[in-house]
Amino acid sequence: MSLTAGLETLDFSFPGQQAAGSFAPVLVGVVGSGNLEVMLEAVPGDACNVRVETSARGFGPIWQAVLGDFHARHPYGGLRISINDMGATPAVVSLRLDQAVADLQQGATP
C-alpha cells in the first residue's frame, strides 16, 4: 500500500485456477465521482494481480473482501486487473468487474 497525490494504491494477488487465455485489453466504466474504471489485461503467469488506485483512503479490508469474492467467482490466472476508483461502492465495483469479465469471455481465445 502506498499513498501518492491524494490517492491510495493497493496491490492484491490471487492464485489463478483457470487461464484467462489471450484477449485484447478490456476496459469498462468511467472514472468519475462515485464510479470507477476497470481494465483487464492478459499477462504471463498463473496469478491474478490487481492494482487499485483510489481516492477513498483506508478501505483496504473492504477492497480485499470485494476482490476475494470476485476471484472466488472468476478464478482466472494470467490476468492483470487495474482499477481507477473515485469512491465507488462495493456493489458498483462488483458490477464493473463482472462487466469486464463478460467482455473478456466474449473475446477470449484459447
C-alpha to C-alpha distance for 67 and 110, rounded to whole angstroms: 25
DSSP state of 58: T
- In terms of residue numbers, what domain contains 73? 2-107
Sign of CA dihedral 51, 57, 58, 61: negative
**Does 95 or 6 have the greater pLDDT score?**
95
CB 13 within 8 A of CB 48: yes
CATH number at residue 68: 3.30.230
Q: What confidence score (pLDDT) does residue 91 get?
A: 93
Q: What confidence score (pLDDT) does residue 106 get?
A: 83
Task: Give the torsion through C-alpha atoms of 48, 51, 54, 57, to 10 deg.
Answer: 90
Q: What confidence score (pLDDT) does residue 5 get?
A: 61
Flag whether the pTM goes above 0.85.
Answer: yes
Average pLDDT over all residues of the chain: 90
C-alpha to C-alpha distance for 74 and 80, rounded to whole angstroms: 13
Q: pLDDT tens digits, residue range 34-56?
A: 789 999 999 999 999 999 999 98
